[in-house]
Chain A
Amino acid sequence: MSVNPMAYEAQFFGFTPQTCMLRVYIAFQDYLFEMMLVVESVILKKLDGFPGCKISPCQIRKSTEKFLLFMKEHFDKLFSKMEEVLLQLVLNVPENVLLPEDKVHEQYPYTKEQFQALQDEIQQLQQQYRAEASAGQALQAELEEQKAVRAELEKILQWFDGLDNICREHGTSNFKESFAFLTQNSKKLQDVLKDVEKKSKKIKKHDQLL
């Protein structure tokens, strides 16, 4: 029969039940011996008060040994029974009982493979998250760029609208036409100026000749 090390009980109690029983056994035994010695010394002392008696210390010692031997036998038997009961009923954790601190082991009985699979899954999720995070950053960056570009384009559009508004306010219905008209007029003016200059030069010549 193999000796049960009662390791799980030791986990709960903080000591091995067998060790506890041994300590108690030794203590009890010591008390028994001590008491017997006290008894013997008391009897011997009392005998000193009876100088005439024929009882020798040797006889007393024999009596003590006899009684002690008898007591020891019963003591061992009784202690053995007590130990058996205590180890089975009191200082034990029944087989079907799981200590609360070990609950995880019944809740999550993962094998090596299952555990590895869980770790792999977590790693994969972390990678996926990192990818999504950098994709998100790129999107945000473009969004910012778009904001700036849009602002510039809207400014330009506003400027064009501004020109149209000015023309409308100043009554020129079609600035573009007027602009074209002006350009033509200034060309005409330039031609007239040139004519006048020519003519005035001719007149000056005539004056000189006259």
Chain B
Amino acid sequence: GNGDGDPSVPATPGRAQVFAAVVDTFLEKLVTAGSYQRFANCYRCFYKLQPEMTRSIYDQFVSQLQTSIKEEIQEVKEEGNLEVLFNSLDKIVEEAKDHKEPAWRPSGIPEEDVRSAMVPYLLKHRSYLQKVLKEKEEENRKVAESVLAGRDRIAELQQLIQARKLAWQ
């Protein structure tokens, strides 16, 4: 069984395992169908002549066929990086197990699909703008207060100077 898995939960075979098992079953059943009896039956005349040779040829045939098929499968797995993809997909499926509804699928219309991809950026941009706008408004409020105070002060100074001028006349 699974050496480092959780013993209380029976592990569902992953895609890689199913793949290997299905290929093995295929080969097994194929070889069973193409049995030695069937082979010898087809090549009856030769079988009668050379029974051991027939057996030996058949064994080699089966062995070679299995090897070639297994090699081809291995090649396909390596080319497609299937081991990694199978494990990754198993994980993704496991994480989605509580998601009962059919999931989103590409609509086939790029303009539609790209919209959702842009939304997170637009949302970030919007909240950034809201923030800097607020800051700017606050900043301006403070500066406006200073400007008003400044105007008052200038008026005050002008009055004082006027008073002095009068006193010297």
Residues of A within 8 A of B (CB): 7-8, 11-15, 20, 23-24, 27-28, 31-32, 34-36, 38-39, 42-43, 46-47, 50, 53, 55, 59-60, 63-64, 66-67, 70-71, 74-75, 78-79, 81-82, 85-86, 89-90, 93-100, 102, 104-110, 112, 115, 118-119, 121-122, 125-126, 128-129, 132-133, 135-136, 139-140, 142-143, 146-147, 149-150, 153-154, 156-157, 160, 176
Contacts and interface: CB of A to CB of B under 8 A. Distances in A.
B150 A143 contact: yes
Interface in B11-34: 15, 18-19, 22-23, 25-26, 29-30, 33-34
B129 A95 contact: no
Interface in B140-169: 140, 143-144, 146-147, 150-151, 153-154, 157-158, 160-161, 164, 167-168
Interface of B: 15, 18-19, 22-23, 25-26, 29-30, 33-34, 38-39, 42-46, 49-50, 53, 57, 61, 64-65, 68-69, 72-73, 76, 80, 82, 85-86, 89, 92-93, 96, 99-106, 113, 115-120, 122-123, 125-126, 129-130, 132-133, 136-137, 139-140, 143-144, 146-147, 150-151, 153-154, 157-158, 160-161, 164, 167-168
A106 B102 CA distance: 11
Contacts of B116: 104-105, 107-110
A12 B89 contact: yes
Contact of B157 (A7, A93, A129, A157): A157
